[in-house]
Amino acid sequence: MGTLILAVTSLFLYSVGTALQALHFRGRVQSNLAITTLIGMLALTSHGLLIAQTVYYDGGFDLSFFKSSLLISWLIVFLLLGLNLRKPVQSLFLGVYPLAALTILLVLITHTPSRLVSGQSYGMLSHIALSVTAYSLFTLAAIQAILLYFQNRQLKHNYNSLLVRNLPPLQTMESLLFEMVWAGVVLLVLAIVTGALFIEDLFAQDLAHKTVFSLLSLLVFVALLIGRYTQGWRGMTASRWTLAGCILLMLAFYGSKFVLELVFHRGG
């Protein structure tokens, strides 16, 4: 199946999913887990086939700026669909589906130098898999933190707002956020450990920036968890710390890619 057909199919399905979630959020239609899951799985399948045609070739993976974003957005949707089967996270689809659609559009309309990773480098692949999964989970945590932040503000100023009526109770939202942060911290630690084991020079020129910002983000998330259990941090404080850690992690993952590929047009 052609790349363009797969991209258009994925965009259509993500648009349908977004529209249904928006209608549910406004109270126009009832939530239906089966339909939500079906549309998400169809979009995920089409998105996955698109990745197979654009990211994987010649026995390796092209993890350049936009193509790695395409892979990460697929994983974010995958994780969210799994979480949605047992957790009240349906509101996150309103942020995740448009994000996935945007990555598909950017892959179609842009071109950056390839950054190939050999499919035979199993140690490196394990590091990349852990890193990408951690980043995807923290992206969900960032969206959750934004919703929690505005939920707190609305509860102080407009208790009957549309946002307050549609989101789970505040305690549930906070619990979900910290579950995501805990899981993300575990994955990030494993990613850093595998990087230390399988990358010859973790502080090489192209990796020093990524290593430093990853360690800084880990410190922020650990401080958040310590603050949660020693100082009772919650609400807006938890949201701000989560977003600060996610911004540092975004700089770690995308900062060097942006400079090398989009500014200096260097591949690797």
Which residue in this structure is represented by tokens 């057909």? 5
- pLDDT at 238 exceeding the cut of 70: yes
Nearest to 24 by CA among 165, 123, 235, 119: 165
- Mean pLDDT over each residue of the chain, to the nearest integer: 86
**What is the structure's pLDDT at 147?**
92
**What is the structure's pLDDT at 215?**
93
- pLDDT at 258 exceeding the cut of 90: no
pLDDT digits (tens, 9 = 90+) for 100-110: 999 999 998 88
**What is the structure's pLDDT at 1?**
60
State the Cα–Cα distance between residues 89 and 105, nearest whole angstrom: 25
**What is the structure's pLDDT at 261?**
59
Nearest to 179 by CA among 137, 210, 149, 215: 137
pLDDT digits (tens, 9 = 90+) for 199-236: 776 555 566 778 888 999 999 999 999 999 999 888 89
> Of 75-79, 127-131, 155-159, 252-256, which has the strongest mean pLDDT?
75-79
pLDDT digits (tens, 9 = 90+) for 12-53: 999 999 999 999 888 788 888 999 999 999 999 999 999 988
State the Cα–Cα distance between residues 235 and 171, nearest whole angstrom: 9
Q: pTM of this prediction?
A: 0.90
Confidence band for 128, pLDDT divided at 50, 70 and 90:
confident
pLDDT digits (tens, 9 = 90+) for 53-73: 888 776 677 777 788 899 999
Nearest to 106 by CA among 47, 66, 63, 56: 66
State the Cα–Cα distance between residues 212 and 67, nearest whole angstrom: 24
**What is the structure's pLDDT at 130?**
93
- pLDDT at 82 exceeding the cut of 90: yes
